[in-house]
Chains A and B, each alone.
Chain A
């Protein structure tokens, strides 16, 4: 089954404690992205990747890092989480530009 898998689904952490949210897709897609979803703001792109070792900032990259060492994986790293990063996070993959995105189930992160 074609899918994008994120882990964990729920995470509560404390300010400053580094964390990683994993994302993996099995569709051989070249394009992958991370979004955060906040009420009234829709989905805002954090980072995106067009291929292995090719990443770039989206609209809200501050406080986040990503890496793309393998085509299927695109982890999101929060080096020093802060409460304003409490949000619902989605990973997505696409076959190419202007194609539809496939989304993971989401990770609900709470930073206290």
Chain B
């Protein structure tokens, strides 16, 4: 069974500073990895996904993530935070061992606060 760990339930960054959100996964088969963002009172929106092509994945709103198999990590970064980046971010993993249907397993989420 796969699992996801997001380090840090809350992250505070200054406007213009680097945003780094950490995600580690475990999976018995090659995983598919996703980052989602949730703005207040909204559903989850896909930021980016890793599907075994390039290890550095670029997403929307200037975010990118790098898949590192040796570290079982898929950390999310953005070089310069904007006030509009304040939201909750979820890492998710999907894997299909055997006859599984490819369940999407979510981390607990990281709340990002951006200060002026």
Q: Which residues of A contact B (CB under 8 A)?
A: 4, 31, 33, 35, 40-45, 48, 50, 58, 90, 92, 94, 96-106
Contact = CB atoms under 8 A, between A and B. Distances in A.
Nearest to A91: B43
Nearest to A104: B43
Given A42-B106, A43-B90, A43-B106, A98 B43 contact: no
Contact of B104 (A40, A50, A101, A105): A101
Given A98-B32, A106-B42, A42 B90 contact: yes
A42 B108 contact: yes
Contact of B96 (A58, A92, A97, A100): A97
Nearest to B109: A42
Contacts of B109: 42
Interface residues of B, number: 25
Contact of B44 (A40, A45, A103): A103
Given A31-B101, A48-B101, A90-B44, A98 B9 contact: no
Nearest to A103: B43
B84 to A, nearest CB: 19
